[in-house]
Chain A
Amino acid sequence: MSEAIKAATLEYTTRLGDDSVVLGHRISEWISYGPFLEEDIAYGNVSLDYIGRARMFYTYAAELANDGRDEDDFAYMRNDREYRNLLLMEMPKGDFAYSQVRQLFADVYYTYLLPELLKSKDETLSAIAAKAIKETKYHLRRSRDWVLRLGDGTEESHKRTQKAVDALWGYTHELFDMDETEQLLADAGIGVDVSRLRDAWLAKVTEILTEATLTLPTEEWAVRGGRIGYHTENLGHMLTEMQIVHRSFPGCKW
């Protein structure tokens, strides 16, 4: 592996880890706040899947960095300007419709991203993708069903769900942005060219939203910046909470 590729892979793996930990954390905020008990358990499983992915990505990142850091250093010792997650993941939990719409956008994204990552020449990334594909299949079934129920449920649930779609839409564009790092890895057969996933994603999301009697936003707006650490204000608050115990006791084992 050339130094450039290695550095890019480290950056890429960290990004994927950041996406997972931030979304996993957001979902975990639902535990004991769900609409009924069965849902508390089910959504908890999705959260666990994402935390599990984050651990795998960070462990690999730590291995690549080879500077004595471990998975927790990646999660707990970087501040919001250093985090590289997509903005969609850091948006607050909102109401149940908001979380399920975000989940749908993310799940459809992973539905197309992971099979490509599975083809990666990097064995570790490919192995993580193999495990995650199975999880995502289940996640999408859940979020799709929820968006259908909420979109085509009562007037109130429809209104809330449409509002969530409109509010989150502008954060979906950067899911398909490529930069130099990702282009280098895509060319090397290690990373995924996400710009090629947009059509499939849009088709699938359109299909589900339509079935849910929801309207695809026509208003064109896009907020970008997650991959360069230009975040919304939400991430800072989230990390403050997430990192407080770890940082209050430097160097401790838990």
Chain B
Amino acid sequence: MTPEEQNFMRKIEAEEKIEPKDWMPAQYRKNLIRQISQHAHSEVIGMQPEGNYITRAPSLRRKAVLISKVQDEAGHGLYLYSAAETLGISRSEMIEQLQSGKAKYSSIFNYPVLTWADVAAIGWLVDGAAIVNQVSLQRTSYGPYSRGMIRICKEESFHQRQGYKAMLSLAKGSPEQKAMAQDALNRFYWPALMMFGPHDSDSAHSQKSMEWKIKRETNDDLRQKFVDQTVKQIEVLGLEHPDQAIKWNEERGHYDSSDLNWDEFWSVINGNGHCNRQRVEHHIAAHDEGEWVRDAITAYNEKKRAKKAQHAA
């Protein structure tokens, strides 16, 4: 190990944060960029499935809550893009990678949002799963990422709670509403579990990222945490658990559950879910349509600068 590497590893082991200007192994930087940008893209693409219900929200209060939630997703995307930018990649490069399919985002957003209950289920289950992951990432070794996570966690607890409240209104509402809630739970439960990624044994990046403390807990451990916490929540809603095999295991101190449909997981990751194409096309369309606006800003700014310079001369 070079002295730089030694110094780097010493910080990692001592739980000191790595900061932007510090020396870091090229692969550490690469892993971080991959993970943070993927995380940022997930927030940004995540605006779409819920945003798609903003214009149909069933009450004005729910409409306002949903707008502010989707706004938060945009904000979180922003925090994360700026964390990644400290590593020397620009937002435009990251967006290009998203649009070309080179960079991934969370597969959960490739599932269609069909009913209002889906919006509730996303808040509760998808944000819930995200929080489990993000709480763990508050302790990540890269300073800007860790600080971004702390900020995001603070804001996201509202997301899960509002989602659960919305779900509760449905589950305790009319029979149609309850059926809608159960249907949403059945469809979103499994993809939510898939958000934690493949089994660690099948994960290409897990080991090194754990060693460098980019990731602090394994995919399977985090998933287990989520499975455990969700059982009671489903019970309180009075809904049926989608996993028939769910069973408390005294010895492990955890719930046993069915294995996931990994074929589906890989198929969606590889671009063949219900909405993969739609989500990316939406992003490209909005981005392309924004181009003349961004051009206008640049042109206006240049004119203003020229005027100022003229004034000064």
Q: Are chains A and B touching in the complex at the 8 Å CB cutoff?
A: yes
| A32 x B286 contact (CB < 8 A) | yes
Q: How many residues does chain A have at the interface if contact means C-beta atoms less than 8 Å apart?
A: 48
Interface of A is mostly: helix
Query: Would you give the shortest CB distance from A133 to chain B, in whole angstroms?
Result: 20
Contact A25:B55 (CB < 8 A) given known A41-B78, A51-B64, A55-B60: yes
Query: Would you give the shortest CB distance from B17 to chain A, in whole angstroms?
Result: 26
| B48 x A32 contact (CB < 8 A) | yes
The reply on B176 being an interface residue by CB < 8 A is yes
Determine the chain A residues whose CB is within 8 A of the CB of B10 once the complex forms.
Answer: none
Q: Which of A151-159, A174-182, A196-204 contacts B (4 or more CB under 8 A)?
A: A151-159
Determine the chain A residues whose CB is within 8 A of the CB of B70 once the complex forms.
Answer: 31-32, 44
The reply on A64 being an interface residue by CB < 8 A is no
- C-alpha spacing A245/B293, complex, angstroms: 34
Residues 48-89 of B, flagged 1 when their CB comes within 8 A of A and 0 if not, give 100100111111111110011011001101100100000000
The reply on A95 being an interface residue by CB < 8 A is yes
Query: Would you give the shortest CB distance from B280 to chain A, in whole angstroms?
Result: 13
- C-alpha spacing A75/B62, complex, angstroms: 13
Residues 114-148 of A, flagged 1 when their CB comes within 8 A of B and 0 if not, give 00000000000000000000000000000000001
* The residue from B47, B289, B294 contacting A31, defined by CB atoms under 8 A apart: B47
Contact A254:B62 (CB < 8 A) given known A32-B286, A33-B286, A249-B177: yes
* The residue from B51, B81, B174 contacting A32, defined by CB atoms under 8 A apart: B51
The reply on A11 being an interface residue by CB < 8 A is no
Chain A's closest residue to B72 (CB) is A41
| B56 x A244 contact (CB < 8 A) | yes
Query: Would you give the shortest CB distance from A5 to chain B, in whole angstroms?
Result: 27
The reply on B282 being an interface residue by CB < 8 A is yes
Query: Would you give the shortest CB distance from A132 to chain B, in whole angstroms?
Result: 15
Contact A32:B293 (CB < 8 A) given known A44-B67, A71-B60: no
Determine the chain A residues whose CB is within 8 A of the CB of B295 once the complex forms.
Answer: 153-154, 156-157
Interface of B is mostly: helix
Determine the chain A residues whose CB is within 8 A of the CB of B116 once the complex forms.
Answer: 245, 254
| A35 x B47 contact (CB < 8 A) | no
| B75 x A51 contact (CB < 8 A) | no
Residues 33-54 of B, flagged 1 when their CB comes within 8 A of A and 0 if not, give 0000000000010011001001
| A154 x B58 contact (CB < 8 A) | no
The reply on B238 being an interface residue by CB < 8 A is no
- C-alpha spacing A144/B156, complex, angstroms: 33
The reply on A36 being an interface residue by CB < 8 A is yes
Determine the chain A residues whose CB is within 8 A of the CB of B58 once the complex forms.
Answer: 76, 245-246, 249, 252, 254
The reply on B260 being an interface residue by CB < 8 A is no
The reply on B296 being an interface residue by CB < 8 A is yes
Query: Would you give the shortest CB distance from B180 to chain A, in whole angstroms?
Result: 9
Chain A's closest residue to B295 (CB) is A154
Chain A's closest residue to B56 (CB) is A245
Determine the chain B residues whose CB is within 8 A of the CB of A95 once the complex forms.
Answer: 289
| B173 x A253 contact (CB < 8 A) | yes
The reply on B166 being an interface residue by CB < 8 A is yes
* The residue from A28, A33, A156, A242 contacting B289, defined by CB atoms under 8 A apart: A33
* The residue from B77, B177, B289, B296 contacting A153, defined by CB atoms under 8 A apart: B296
Not counting A51-B67, A254-B59, A254-B61, a sample of 9 additional A-B residue pairs whose C-beta atoms are within 8 angstroms of each other reads A28-B54, A37-B74, A44-B68, A44-B74, A48-B71, A51-B60, A150-B293, A156-B292, A253-B173
User: Could you list 6 examples of A-B contacts with CB < 8 Å?
Assistant: A48-B67, A51-B60, A71-B60, A75-B60, A253-B169, A254-B116
- B binding-site residues for A, Cβ under 8 Å: 44, 47-48, 51, 54-64, 67-68, 70-71, 74-75, 77-78, 81, 116, 166, 169-170, 173-174, 176-177, 282, 286, 289-297, 299-300, 303
Give the 9 A-B residue pairs with the shortest CB-CB distance, closest first.
Answer: A35-B290, A153-B296, A157-B296, A35-B293, A44-B71, A245-B58, A32-B47, A149-B300, A32-B51
